Amino acid sequence: MTARPRRTVKAVVMVGAMALALGSFGRIARAGEEDDLQRQIETQRSGVAEATTDEITLLRAWLDEAWSLRSKHEYDEVREVLDRCLKQADLIRAKITASKLRAQAQKHEAALADLRAKISRTKKALQETTTKKRALEGSTQ
């Protein structure tokens, strides 16, 4: 098989997979599916509050889009938007976690700097005390 037919076969397989994924073969909505999708949208909305403004705005827009599509009974499109929302929520959680870890690292670095300064002061005081002790020992002999 030459390169061109292989590419054609790959393209046909990809188009078929995309068609299946997009539900172009007439997917029928199950009973209660609308309620399930509504619950998923609302669950995602409730978790939005703790992220940064830009990410929240984008996520809320996508959730509004999902809600609109759900009310039009376009369930496959709702699932696509919800998948996008889940990935966005994961990104938001990762950013929040990174921010918390960065704050923890800064706190630890500040504590380390304080300890280093204290050690430096203690070493200096020890050196001065040792020098004074030698001076006293030298003057009493």
- Helices 75-140, 33-46: inter-axial angle, 10-degree rounding: 30
Q: Take residue 73 and report the two structure tokens written for it.
A: 């009974």
Instruction: Please write the tens of the pLDDT for every residue from 38-48.
Output: 777 777 666 55
Instruction: Please write the tens of the pLDDT for every residue from 95-114.
Output: 888 888 888 888 888 889 98
d(C-alpha 16, C-alpha 85), whole Å: 25
Q: Say if residues 55 and 92 touch (Cβ distance below 8 Å).
A: yes
Mean pLDDT of the chain: 76
pTM above the 0.85 mark?
no
Strands (E) in the chain, as ranges, are: none
Above pLDDT 90, what percent of the chain? 21
Closest by CA position to 51, among listed 81, 106, 90: 90
Residue 21: pLDDT over 50: no
Q: Which residues of 32-48 are buried (b: 16+ CB within 10 A; e: fewer)?
A: eeeeebeebbeebbeeb
Question: Residue 129 is which amino acid?
Answer: T
Q: Take residue 119 and report the two structure tokens written for it.
A: 């050690």
Question: Residue 42 is which amino acid?
Answer: E
